[in-house]
Structure 1
Amino acid sequence: MNVDFGYKTYNNYGAYLKGKYEGVRVFKIIVDGGFTCPNRDGSKGYGGCAYCNVDSFTPETSRKMPTIREQIEKGIERAVKGYAAEKFIIYFQPNTNTYAPVHYLKMMYDEALSICPSDVVGLSVGTRPDCIDAEKVALLESYVERGLDVDLEMGMESIYDDTLQRINRGCSHQELIQAMDLVKDSPLDICVHTVFGFPWETREMMLRYADEINRFPQIKFVKLHQLYIVEGSIMGVQYKRNPFKLFSLEEYTDFLSEFIPLLRPDIIIQRLFGISDYDLLIAPEWGLKKSGIQSYIDKELERRGVMQGSRYRPLV
């Protein structure tokens, strides 16, 4: 991710990093630890989430790197040359990065954090709420005690169990609530990831995600993501057989203009949309690169006077 230092009408991650690290350019280095998921390996199911092809959100350069050291060294080299990055967050992203015994996780995290320790300021771990327990939370908290910022990112995806079943998630919303209880008083920075645009969910249903996110004070970050369809996914096969409605860029921006004002104003938005490698994308085709999409959404939100939290009402 590139750090954006511009003004936004929402509480954005670029401004957060700039303030926290006093203007130093901080860049996430994506690492593929070779993990799988419980709904891929047969523990809970096969085939993974219906919308998911893990290659679609893992940079090709990371996929081709055989070791953690090579991934991090190459990632840092690209970040320095391409973005003048100065400090780094090690980001275990693909699949479920707490889906292993604690001793194995510790070995892997320790290895990653040992590669360039003077320039690494944080650890970010993407996972599922059903793959978190007290022992794993304690392990991640031990890195906070070493002076690192630790971001635990959990896929909420939808707040509706019917949707979670239909997308083969293998995980209920109640399991997210249980994971939130585990980290209620934790020093970890908690991030949740959502997907908007499942064709059976109405606009009103999706807007209710905000209330559910707002009720957990331990949530510091969110990643907002529109549904897109990629090759190699279950929904990719379904879409080719019987195409269904997906957000256009204009429609998604219109939705965000309603959603963002409902979101608690202290929550930091790490991401407003998702992208896929062009060769894997089936639909929707927005016709812009990542920077163009970001610019379009930001300008439209500003034009409309959208302000995060302007319609937020604390739950009683």
Structure 2
Amino acid sequence: MGTPLDYGFKNYNHYGAYLKNKYEGQRVYKIIADAGFTCPNRDGSKGYGGCTYCNVDSFTPELSRKLPTIREQIEQGMERAFKNYRAEKFIIYFQPNTNTYAPTHYLKMLYDEALSINTDSIVGLSVGTRPDCIDFEKLALLESYSDRFDVDLEMGMESIYDDTLLKINRGCSHQEFVNAVQLAQNTKVDICVHTIFGFPWETHDMMLRYADEINRFPQIKFVKLHHLHIVKGSIMGSKYSRDPFKVFTIDEYTDFIAEFIPLLRPDIVLQRLFGLADLDLLIAPNWGMKKSQIQSYIDKRLEEKGIVQGSKYQQVSSLII
């Protein structure tokens, strides 16, 4: 006799089920667009070198890096997704670097072009950015697309601790994240939050407190949970190569996620449970599995543990860091 997982049922609010339900069973696929942005902690506006864990190539598909125009990236991405995954609908995802780090009129030109390509097949716009590169004008631009597309703004919270943000050369504070989330209140723009677990100076209990901070903002609809991975070409990668520090094993990370998910509001949709860089860039941790195998392993362990999202959720009105 099969388990609920065998029939596609998970004990957390996962993104695949959300998309399937929202778009009435149609196959929806994200198409990554690289618009050539940089970040304020790379170009000297707030610093140089970027976040210490970051090599932008580690989360940008090689094909996107090679194609010079937005149109080519999206057209070929759609063709590949249709051929390989039988995708029927698409979300245009501006992912690499800071995709609101430009004047609003320039952003409008880019977003308009991307959404004009095979428009009948596009259902959403997702824009990845930093909290210190969001203002009312840019939010208004994103909201202007919401009558035709589902729009979400993906922001890197990374950590809730300013000490950590300083150590990783983030170039912004947690309060700036809070301010950006509050700007989106009462708009039609959904917020997706990106977190990183496993900075070696943060304790287990410190990381669990991320859940309370996420929970207190009703406008946060999506979350991406990532473990810290060390990649070539990053400042942290160079430091790790000289003096390795502790990173999660897959069992340790799964055990942590099994504690974290019950603390999250049950309505939050989990877009990811982990991150994985290309193996040619990954230094550590290398769990020796493909992405699909890691997903299956974690899902199976969560099911065995009887983990249910929100089962330990307690509403909080504020959190002092």
Q: Could you tell me the TM-score, scaled by structure 2's length? A: 0.96
Matched ranges for 1:184-203 at <5 A:
184-203=185-204
Equivalent in the alignment of 1:50: 52
Q: Show the counterpart of 1:72.
A: 74
User: Do the aligned residues in 2 keep the contact of 1:32 with 1:62 (CA within 8 Å)?
Assistant: yes
- 1:158 aligned residue: 159
Deviations 1:126-181 (A, max 9, x none): 00000000000000000002x20001000000000000000000010000011011
Cα distance in structure 2, aligned partners of 1:283 and 1:153 = 25
Which position in structure 1 is the counterpart of 2:3? none
Distance 1:16 1:294 in 2: 17
**Deviation per CA, 1:196-243, whole angstroms, max 9, x where unpaired?**
000000000000000000000110000000000000000001101100
Q: Unpaired segments of 5 or more residues in structure 1?
A: none
RMSD: 1.0
Q: Name the structure 2 match of 1:260.
A: 261
Q: CA shift at 1:6, angstroms?
A: 2.0
Q: Does 1:22 align with 2:50?
A: no
Number of the residue aligned with 1:182: 183
Unmatched tracts of structure 2, length 5 or more = 1-5
**Structure 2: how far apart are the matches of 1:181 and 1:315?**
16
Structure 1 runs (4+) deviating above 4 angstroms are none
Displacement after TM superposition at 1:184 (Å): 1.0
Match of 1:88 in 2: 90
Q: Structure 2 CA distance, aligned partners of 1:112 and 1:255?
A: 38
Alpha-carbon separation, structure 2, partners of 1:265 and 1:120 = 28
Residue equivalent to 1:63: 65
Q: Which amino acid aligns with 1:76?
A: M
- Answering whether residue 308 of structure 2 is matched by residue 276 of structure 1, we say no
CA 200–107 in structure 1, closer or farther in 2 if over 3 Å, else same: same
Instruction: Confirm or deny: 8 A CA contact 1:219 1:267 kept in the other structure.
Output: yes
Percent pairwise identity: 75
Choose from 139, 142, 150 the match for 1:140.
142
Structure 2 residue aligned with 1:217: 218
Superposition deviation, residue 5 in structure 1: 8.5
Contact 1:5–1:18 at 8 Å: present in 2 too? no
Specify the alignment match of 1:204 in structure 2: 205
- Give the secondary structure class of the aligned counterpart of 1:91: strand
Q: Is the 8 A contact 1:5 1:14 kept in 2?
A: no
> Please, what TM-score do these two structures have when normalized by structure 1?
0.98
